[in-house]
Structure 1
Amino acid sequence: MLKNRTGFAALALAAMLLTSAVFSAEGDERILKVVAETKELIDGGEIQAAQDIFDELQADFPKIMRPDLDLFIKGELYFGKERYAKAARSYEKLLKDHPRSALCDATLDREFTIAKTYLAGRKKTVLGFIKLKGYAEGIRIMEKIADRVGLDTPMGTEASLAVARNYEDRELYNEAYLKWWEISLHWNEGPVGKEALLGMARTKLAAYNKPPEHKRHLYDASGLSTAKSCYSRFKLLYPVDARQIGVDKILEQIDEQLAYKQLRIGQYYQSTGHPKAANLYYHMVANDWPATQAAAAAKELLAAEPDTASDVQTPSEK
């Protein structure tokens, strides 16, 4: 029964294609209809039915087969069997060798699906027997999609967002920040621009906070300053959203961390016998971040040195 059904389907599809010139616009439309119907079979799990149709088409009607269609068919059959690495290679060859093919849109859709699957944690076989998470492969495919279609297209935007979110989910905050920044260059307003700006702020702060708390002051604080700048801009542009996520409290936290960083530098100078340098930092903390706990501590340390407790203005290192 299945053999008869697939045989009839192959004849119908072949007749559809042969009624027009294969390389004409009308021929492309007919091929796209064939592709849509066979994609439904594959998405519905009827891989063997799709395989039988393609086999009969190739055997009985070789004139309708062309290189881009052949590559797409191979990719579809691999895709249906969840052999995504081989499917991706066929799709990529189609896009590279036949950039004007009418099948490019359908191929990009499939590549996007494969990339999402890898980003979700699907493993990829390396060296024939080692199975590793396919995050890198998913990112590679998404980046190629964005390069091909452009970041100003819906698919290019979604591909770039998927990469940024994946980096952030895996706590690769520096990589995530760079991707959010890249997105912000193309989208500085609207929903995408808002998400990118918040992503930049969030990842810079998360990168600084990643080490244990007692060691954070040992690291470069420039990321904190960047996070503060991004959060401040977010508050200015999106005040309602800023209130909902508690940006004011986040900014207070960042100020506390910036102040504590400078306080610890001052304490280092004091412990190594350089009281004048230490006092410069204490004054800076007290003057630049007066509402912080670090400022209160700095004032106490200055009070212990009455000769240097005057309100000296120092260059800000915020």
Structure 2
Amino acid sequence: MNCRLNPRGWDRRASQAPHRVVSFLVIAACAVGAAGSPAPAEGSAVATATVAASQDKRSRTVVRDPGSQAWVEVVPPEPGTPEGDLHTAREHLLVGSSVAAVKAVDRWIREYGTSHALYPDALLLKSQAWIAAHKFDEAHDLLTRFLNEFDGTSYVTEALRQEFVIAEAYLGGARRKFLGMRLMPGDDVGLRILDDMTANFPNDAHAELAIKTKADYFLRRGESALAELEYARLLNEYPQSRYHAYALRRAADCAQAVFVGPEYDEAPLIEAQSRFEEYARRYPQQAAEEGVPGIFVAIREARAEKLVKTAEYYERARHPKTAVFYYQLAVQDWPGTQADAKARRRLDVLGVAVTAPDAADEASGGR
């Protein structure tokens, strides 16, 4: 049995009615026939699909009529018509003949022109064929022109979906052509596609996904600072995003990763603590399951250790009053930490009682 399935699920005629597509029945019929199983009972849904698919070489679509709840066959459009010729191009793409699909679309455009109502569908089919052939440069160029020409129409979401596929391919390692060969990395183009989505189509669902994808890309590359900026951007620009919990946790993780040690600025740790606190407040169960309370302990220890390291530096530099100030600050601000115990031991060695820092010493730097 030679069964094929319409790649779009239904053709333009079928899309005029609110039917639910069940083209998978055609696939089921193909599987039954290929396995040599007995023919299904006449009148069954699978039988309907089997008979329909065997009548000619064109693919068939079966839908359920919401009124009668019966399976209804939607006959493909006749070849030689705009709908039929475009359907033929789709079938080329379905069977993996991407180049044949592109040629069929080009013939369609020459035959029916750019003013035909199906012209946007033809262009999107052509770009889809380029993507299937891994010719991302050609597809991206076509979609860029398409979005400029058909901005504000119902076709934008599908065009953005295809652009997103191209961006992911480039960020995943696909290369661009140079001197006819695929030699150049495509990361810059992938990032530019994502930026264009958020800048030009902020209300489309792909916009917030583009920011998330860009942040994930930087995170995979170990560029935590850039990743944090993108996750924070997603939180700020799309506060009701379906990715809110994910972005908030990743932003906190990235901020913590930016902190490289107690000898450096603790601003990333403060940012991380703030984001983890918000995460625990908004998603308490997830936070508990993911061990966020333990992260709070680690952040406290790191911030306290920074004060002790600072005190040790001033002690080595022979500025004992400043060293005492930071040791006392560690005791006062971070009780119960390992740094607290270390600071108390050093204060004891220096013969200084544990007290609150003197305001005058704090103002003068303790020197």
TM-score, length basis structure 1: 0.78
Amino acid at match of 1:283: Q
Shift of 1:59: 4.0
Question: After the TM superposition, which residues 126-137 of structure 1 pair with which residues of structure 2 at under 5 Å, given as runs?
Answer: 131-137=183-189
Aligned-pair CA distance for 1:158? 1.6
- Structure 1's consecutive aligned runs of 4 or more residues displaced over 6 angstroms after TM superposition are none
Distance 1:238 1:314 in 2: 41
Alignment-derived partner of residue 135 in structure 2: 83
Q: Does 1:180 align with 2:231?
A: yes
User: Residues 117 and 275 of structure 1: is their aligned pair in 2 closer, same or farther, counting only changes over 3 Å?
Assistant: same
Instruction: Report whether the alignment pairs 1:280 with 2:325.
Output: yes
Match of 1:220 in 2: 265
Q: For the structure 1 residues 190 and 103, does the alpha-carbon distance in structure 2 shift closer, same or farther, using more than 3 Å as the test? A: closer
Contact 1:174–1:203 under 8 Å retained in 2: yes
**Per-residue deviation at 1:52?**
3.8
Match of 2:337 in 1: 292
User: How many angstroms apart in 1 are the aligned matches of 2:223 and 2:90?
Assistant: 36
Identify which of 170, 175, 194 aligns with 1:123.
175
Matches within 5 A, 1:21-36: 34=86
Q: Does 1:42 align with 2:86?
A: no
Aligned partner of residue 91 in structure 1, secondary structure: helix
Structure 1 residue 12 and structure 2 residue 79: aligned? yes
Shift of residue 228 of structure 1?
0.7
Cα shift at 1:135: 2.7
CA pair 304-76 structure 1, distance change in 2 beyond 3 A: same
Matched, 1:255 2:300: yes
Instruction: Name the SS for the 1:185 alignment partner.
Output: helix
Q: Between Structure 1 and Structure 2, how many residues are aligned?
A: 286
Deviation at 1:57, TM superposition (A): 2.1
- Once the 2 structures are TM-superposed, how far is the Cα of residue 219 of structure 1 from its aligned partner? 1.9
1:184-232 superposed Cα distances (whole Å, 9 cap, x missing partner) = 11343564222221121111011214xxxxxx22221100010011111
CA contact (8 A) 1:284 1:314 kept: no
The residue matched to 1:217 in structure 2 has which SS? coil
Choose 163-172 or 123-132, whichever is displaced more. 123-132
Q: 1:309 aligns with which of 329, 337, 353?
A: 353
Secondary structure in 2 aligned to 1:54? helix
Question: Which residue in 1 is equivalent to 2:39?
Answer: none
- Seen in structure 2, the aligned counterparts of structure 1 residues 72 and 233 have a Cα distance that, compared at 3 Å, is closer
Q: Is the Cα–Cα contact under 8 Å of residues 77 and 83 in structure 2 kept in the other structure?
A: no
Partner SS for 1:156:
helix
Which amino acid in the other structure matches residue 327 of structure 2?
Y
Match of 2:61 in 1: none
Q: Is 1:145 matched up with 2:197? A: yes
- Aligned to 2:356, the other structure's residue is in SS state coil
Q: Which runs of 5+ in 1 are unaligned?
A: 18-32, 210-215
Change (3 A) 1:13 1:173: farther
Distance 2:345 2:357 in 1: 17
Secondary structure of the equivalent of 1:157? helix
Superposition pairs of residues 50-69 of structure 1, within 5 angstroms: 50-62=101-113
Aligned amino acid, residue 108 of structure 2: L
**CA-CA distance at 1:175 after TM superposition:** 1.0
Cα distance in 1 for residues equivalent to 2:233 and 2:80: 45
Letter in 2 for 1:304: V
Q: SS at the partner of 1:131?
A: strand
Q: Does 1:156 align with 2:207?
A: yes
Is contact 2:304-2:330 (8 Å) kept? Answer: yes
Q: Would the alpha carbon gap of residues 219 and 10 (structure 1) be closer, same or farther in structure 2, given more than 3 Å must change?
A: farther
Q: Which residue of 1 aligns with 2:245?
A: 194
Which residue of structure 2 lines up, in the alignment, with residue 27 of structure 1? none
